[in-house]
Chain A
Amino acid sequence: MNIVVCVKYVPDAQSDRTFNEADNTTDREGVEGLLSEIDEYAVEEALKLAESGEGEVTVVTVGPDQAVDAVKKALQMGADKAVHVSDEAIHGSDAAATSLILAEAIKKAAGGSNPDLVLMGMSSTDGVMGVVPAMVAERLGLPQVTYASELTLEGESVTIRRDGDAASETIVSSLPALVSVTDQINEPRYPSFKGIMAAKKKPVDTWTLADLGVDAGQVGLDAAWTKVTSFAKRPPREQGQIVTDEGDGGTKLAEFLSAQKFL
């Protein structure tokens, strides 16, 4: 079983995330970054599947130089090899262009065709659009099985369970397939000391757009199909009225609701 996991290097949500004044893109330089949290669950699921049978786990990321930290974390957790697609032309790429680069990288990493399984987190913690899995599936012509909170492989098919808004669903798909996971699917492991040492010897391939056969004109800020025209920091919410409950906190709360015309 050949599994490719796509991961993203994101600005730490605990830090002050911001934009570049020059081109309205996410500032990835001035802030600490890390492996997007939900992607750890995708890596963990891939490792579990590989460990329960024969399998190889390849981790793929697209991003600037420091994005290699995201795949290194995955290698420390136990992934076999990694690919980092890095090219100056990628800066400012939108989700559609990112999905194009990822799709080509996935195919190349799997030896020219689709791997048995592509795993991703349901969304990143910075963009939070949650559209890249669907876009990559569309580009690779793969069935897309998203928001998995349980996953089982059986022969040539994958079965997942997910909690929808109205129903709990079971979905069955043939392989190869692309599955995105939620943080309910497992408990990601921490890299062990042994894992951290072993990761230093694992191969990390760095590919450019040319290596993938992607024309630089198809990606980047100028090729984006959407454009951020302006951004503004929201004024901090003014702190409202805080009362300490002295036996009438609930009554005061109801009075506030009434004054605000919620009742």
Chain B
Amino acid sequence: MAEVLVLVDHAGGKIRKATAELLTIARRLGEPSAVFIGPNAETAQVTLAKYGAHKVYVYDAPDALEYLVAPQAEILASVVEKTSPLAVLIPSNSAGKEIAARLAVRTESGVITDAVDVVAGAEGVETTQSVFAGSYTVKATVTKGAAIVAVKPNSVPIEPAPAAGAVEKIEVTLSDAAKAAKITESKPKAATGRPELTEASIVVSGGRGTGGDFGPVEEFADSLGAAVGASRAAVDAGWYPHSNQVGQTGKQVSPQLYVAAGISGAIQHRAGMQTSKTIIAINKDEEAPIFELVDFGVVGDLFTVLPQATEAVKKAKA
């Protein structure tokens, strides 16, 4: 069976959900192997085996993560050269897409990003993407080299499928060029206790209508265990960090449930959330374009609607 590589997304050895999703997808295409770069591979190996990794390639020298993506692309390229895999699956976040890009050029392989589905088709690996702000669905295949596919989080439900997870160490001498862009400082964001925006199954976002007060948005998000997002207007006004921006110039999210509070729904925003499974909006303006997309909408003031909903959710969950 053809080997399918999965680049592991992790924080200090703790596997992110996206990795388990990629292993689940990899099993449809062939035999999954994980590629782990960084410290604490032992912790990771247990989870990777649980989700179906037959092999776990490990690069644990401390240097790779001190730089931007180039070293990870070099390490992955060396595994690709060694194993000639059918496909390489990478999480479709900003770093993942760049690793995929460099790997594609280096190994002369086709790359597809932002895939929302990947299947074994008649012409090999077939991907589904949602383009032009979600207005079109595109199916594509890779015609050269290994299929390098960056897959969006929440594309498939995770299924465990225990496998051996045999560890194999990788030795690579990183080039000087790969070590040119050094991360000299990394200030972790203040822990909010909320899930990561692009991975969350529920996202609650606030926009211009919050007037800068994200309190009701955050409280509602917390009642649902959701991540908090923001529209570009709210970010440009300095009300919420850019890393939480949902839209064309921010994050593209695709959760099970998306709640837009005080967001009109300009194309810029829709581009980042239109593929969400269920959409809810709260807006004072009944003409707001966001209402064209919703499964449920409330025309009203978010400052009264959200707190009432928060209380009702808490009661229902208690």
Contacts and interface: CB of A to CB of B under 8 A. Distances in A.
Given A139-B105, A144-B181, A239 B113 contact: no
Contacts of B308: 248-251, 253-254
B143 A134 contact: no
Contacts of B291: 239, 242
B182 interface: yes
Contact of B180 (A146, A168, A174, A224): A174
Contact of B299 (A17, A144, A182, A243): A243
Given A240-B297, A249-B300, A262-B257, A225 B108 contact: yes
A165 B142 CA distance: 29
A94 B113 CA distance: 12
A231 to B, nearest CB: 5
B47 interface: no
A244 B106 contact: no
Most buried by B among A122, A237, A262: A262
Given A172-B184, A182-B242, A96 B301 contact: no
Contacts of A262: 202, 224, 256-257, 278
B98 A237 contact: no
Interface stretch (B19-27, B30-38, B185-193): B185-193
Contact of B98 (A37, A134, A165, A171): A134
Given A14-B267, A96-B104, A131-B113, A234 B184 contact: no
Q: Is the interface of B mostly helix, strand, loop or mixed?
A: mixed
B104 A37 contact: no
Contact of B139 (A139, A143, A228, A258): A228
Interface in B238-262: 241-243, 248-249, 252, 256-257
Interface in A167-183: 167-174, 177, 182-183
A22 interface: no
B112 interface: yes
Given A163-B243, A263-B316, A135 B299 contact: no
15 contacts: A17-B135, A125-B248, A129-B101, A134-B97, A134-B98, A144-B98, A168-B187, A225-B110, A231-B139, A237-B294, A243-B297, A245-B305, A253-B298, A258-B316, A262-B202
List the 6 closest pairs (A to B, CB-CB), nearest first: A250-B308, A245-B300, A225-B110, A254-B312, A143-B180, A131-B101
Given A13-B271, A234-B130, A250-B311, 6 more contacts: A19-B136, A125-B248, A172-B184, A241-B295, A250-B298, A252-B298
Interface of A: 13-14, 17-19, 37-38, 94-96, 99, 122, 125-126, 128-135, 137-139, 141-147, 149, 159, 163-174, 177, 182-184, 224-234, 236-237, 239-245, 248-258, 260, 262-263
